[in-house]
Amino acid sequence: MASPTGDNELLSALDQLFAKYWEEKESFGREKTLEDKFFATYLRAMKDEDEARPKEWDGNTSSILTFTGLFAATVAAFVIESYKLLSPDSGDQTVILLGQILAATTNSSSYPSTTSVSANTFNPPLPAVLANALWFISLIVALACALLATLVQQWSRDYVKDIRYRETLDESFASRALSHVSIRMGVDHYKMDDVVSLIVALVHLAVILFAAGLLLFLYPINAAVSGCTTSILGVFVLVYLIAGVMPIKDANCPYRTPLTY
């Protein structure tokens, strides 16, 4: 059975250990108990992390917003030009119409039927269809990433506001600490950190879709251009895959991609 002297020494040692984290008196003049000192130490220890975590969210989402804005503008420029391949060329339709008028004035019976069939059976090239589909999907994913990044920034501000609001309440240190734990458990349970990682993965997916659509768009146009583009993209894909696989084999490797997780 522990002696009273041993208990007193233990309490004295705890007081000395916690002394650097608080003042001896609370703002309303009541002397702190050992329980208050314990929870005050917890709150003080978590303060740095409460400041660093929202800054990390904001930093990641700010870079995502900048990138998705530039990327969406680039994709939109390609889409504006490529979607025209999905409908008949107005110039070709004019030529067909002039041919029909010419045939009618020369009493030709075969030419009009041929041109009418050509006008009514237009089918867009398959590479153009696939390229436009990939680019539209890429554009939608990029815009969705921008929206999600904006939401994460709002949730980050709400998190900081909730933490700081608890500090202004005239509550005991135990109540403040329990409220803080509740807020942190909510953030961890709903995986706020994973949401940011998911947005990054979606941005990478949007870039991959755009690159695939670019290759499909270039192949029917010029073999040399498409070959050079394929070679350069192949190098980047290889580097991306290596960067994603290396941390799996070596935990000390700093290079990571969404494939790593």
Q: What is the pTM of this model?
A: 0.72
Count CA within 13 A, CB hemisphere, residue 192.
Answer: 22
For residue 260, the SS3 value is coil
Element (H, E) at 198: helix 192-218
Hey, where are the domains in the chain?
38-85+125-221, 88-123
Per residue of the chain (261 residues), what is the pLDDT tens digit? 555 565 566 656 555 555 544 444 444 444 467 777 777 777 777 788 888 888 889 989 999 999 999 999 999 999 998 888 887 765 555 666 666 666 667 754 454 444 444 445 778 889 899 999 999 999 999 999 999 999 999 999 988 888 877 766 666 777 878 888 888 888 888 888 899 999 999 999 999 999 999 999 999 888 899 999 999 999 999 999 998 888 888 888 888 888 777
Element (H, E) at 253: none
Count CA within 13 A, CB hemisphere, residue 19.
Answer: 7
**How far is it, in rounded angstroms, from Cα 36 to Cα 38?**
5
